[in-house]
Amino acid sequence: MSEDLHNPELYINRELSLLEFNRRVLAQSQDEGTPLLERLRFLCIASSVLDEFFEIRVAGLKQQEAVGASQRGPDNLSPSEQLRRIKATADGLVEAQYQVLNEVLIPKLDIQGIRILDEGDWNDKQKQWLKRYFKKELAPIMSPIALDPAHPFPQPLNKSLCFIVALEGQDAFGRQIGRAIVQAPRAFPRVVRLPDSCATSPYEFVLLSSIIESHVSGLFPGMKATGCYPFRVTRNSDLFVDLEEVDDLLRALEGELSSRRYGDAVRLEVDVDCPDDLEAFLRAQFRLNQDDVYRCNGPVNLMRLAAIPDLVDRPELKYPGFTPRIPDRFRQAGDAFEAIREGDILVHHPFDSFAPFIEFLRQAAADPQVLSIRQTLYRTGPDSAVVEALTRAAASGKEVLVVIELRARFDEEDNIELANHLQSVGAQVVYGVVGHKTHSKMSMVVRREGRSLVRYVHLGTGNYHQRTTRLYTDYGLFTSDPDIGEDVQQLFQQLTSMGKAGRLKKMLQSPFTLHKTMLELIDQEARNAAGGRTGYIFAKMNSLVEPQVIQALYRASQAGVKVDLVVRGICALRPGIKGVSGNIRVRSIIGRFLEHTRVFHFENDGDPKLYLSSADWMGRNFFNRVETCFPIEDPAIQKRILAECRLYLTDNCQAWQLESDGLYQRVQSTASERRSAQETLLEEITGG
């Protein structure tokens, strides 16, 4: 154990690890085993993930570089060095994205009668229809800006579609303009489906960018557009709120949201054919250098293509549908409270339905014996049945308390609107703790039963968002355990009164006990192994970054503890290093559903400890968020969770193995049996 566990070579840079996650997502678009339209979706998801990476992570590194920040992470890379490595990796990812689109997906879609038409593909009838569409629909609301001293360069919105146009000829005032900027109307879809009257295939689409490029000269009477090139600027989208000075978090965020659209530029995407002088002109306007430019051999925003699968009714080119299961006890009892009283109930989304939770809230809203409902909301989505049930409960006179995290990234505006709505119907709304995002997922109903008050609780690893419960894997636990109920009550009181929660009976909490307890449990496995007993750790999460936890895992591996980690995204730990992490295996599962469960299992010398949590093993989750971690004590539920987790360790279809060099290799099993964790769970739980 003489190895220096602070050695930077033992840590993978978190930003480069996130780019490797992007590479794994992109690989799904290349996978012949994935349905064709789903491959297009994966390409769009990879593009969207890369967008957010630049908006948040690259933007932050640029700020650090600008102020000369000297603080470094465990890998000891400076901001400048990270940006250099990011550029090299991101260039390759962007090239691969467009290669997949142009050389693989577009030809395969074309074979299926799903065509994305360039100007050169339009026949006379289509040209006429598109010309009318431009003239009647687009041109009346477009405002081209010729660039001169009276018309300075505009400031495009973050990630909005724009064009730089090269012009010849004089304007109405006899001036030689030379250049202009055209911004695409935000209200129009970026993908236009051609009507049956002029389509030659079942599904034919034209990109809005192609329509504008073809007809842009019509916006400049008397002049000729000699070139029209789409571009898009990505801006710093991280919100800044001075938490020491803020008096009203809602108002402070409302004021900050508008600045997100016009934050400092961090990336410029331009058409591959854009002339060098126009690219240099754009760079100068956005104060960017050459390393901030990415040439796009296709649409500058691939995410817009995500509309196509939704517009195409071809089920055989998509994942097959399925009906999530409703657990037997909920279905048989009808009464949610009766079902929960019989014992804890576990649901595993999306294989198990989210409907029981909605029904739980609806019954609580209508039940005269229910006195109060307390709920955390991080992301909910539009037209939320959860919000509808809470609204009904408040309107019926029940005590409804909702803790809304206003700073859920990119959902801030929705959450502000939600807070205002709930307050208007009589619910008590608080915004959590200033300086600590409330990321815990808790719901509690207090019901009078005879002379007693009984607490019914739901705890989860994911958000109360109906759409994502069909797309993300998450666990939820329904329980009426008195100790858990008392813990949850204390946690809600802490969030509203800011008083100390006191010692919780069963649950762990960030920022107080979760980090400390995880270190203790890991170290206990190390002591057990060192003493000749069996040591084993299984942990499944989205990200593993926190250095003290990584060092504890290294010590456990050195002591002989076998460690299996399933980490979907960022992993800063290097597995497989002799004498340090030789007993640690790290896998990532990328498939139909986004893996989102957090499961922590410790063998504990034959007396296993199993926890589910809202928290990843990251510094922000341990120290800067309000998180919950709850034990699973029912033997049958423990057995089910561990059996499901083992599926991820034997997956030979959608699994990637992390190597010690920080790169991932797709698991290629020699076994004849095909094993997919997600497909097995779909079949076993839903019968699909």
H or E, element range at 681: helix 677-681
Tokens standing for residue 148? 């001169």
* DSSP-assigned letters across all residues of 162-231: EEEEEEESB-TTS-B--EEEEE--TTS-SEEEPPTTT-SSSEEEEEHHHHHHHHGGGGSTT-EEEEEEEE
Enumerate the β-bridge partners of residue 544: 571, 617
The Cα 235–Cα 157 span in angstroms is 8
Q: In the prediction, which pLDDT does 256 show?
A: 44
Domains of the chain: 8-317 (3.30.1840.10), 328-503 (3.30.870.10), 510-686 (3.30.870.10)
Q: Which of 215, 349, 439, 596 is catalytic?
A: 439
The Cα 46–Cα 648 span in angstroms is 22
* pLDDT mean by block of 10 residues, the chain; 688 residues: 84 97 97 96 96 93 86 92 96 97 97 96 97 95 82 87 90 72 91 95 95 94 91 81 40 44 86 96 95 96 94 97 95 93 97 97 96 89 84 93 71 68 85 79 97 97 90 97 97 81 89 97 98 96 98 98 98 97 98 97 96 97 95 98 97 96 88 88 90
Evaluated on CA atoms 328, 334, 336, 338, the torsion sign reads negative
Q: In the prediction, which pLDDT does 247 show?
A: 43
Q: In the prediction, which pLDDT does 424 show?
A: 84
* DSSP-assigned letters across all residues of 256-274: HHHHHTT--EEEEEEETT-
Q: pTM for this one?
A: 0.92
Q: In the prediction, which pLDDT does 542 show?
A: 97
Q: In the prediction, which pLDDT does 688 show?
A: 66
* DSSP-assigned letters across all residues of 574-588: ----TTTTTTEEEEE
User: Residue 439 catalytic?
Assistant: yes
The Cα 11–Cα 2 span in angstroms is 17
List all residues 6 or more positions away from 262 whose beta carbon is below 8 Å from its beta carbon: 155, 157, 158, 235
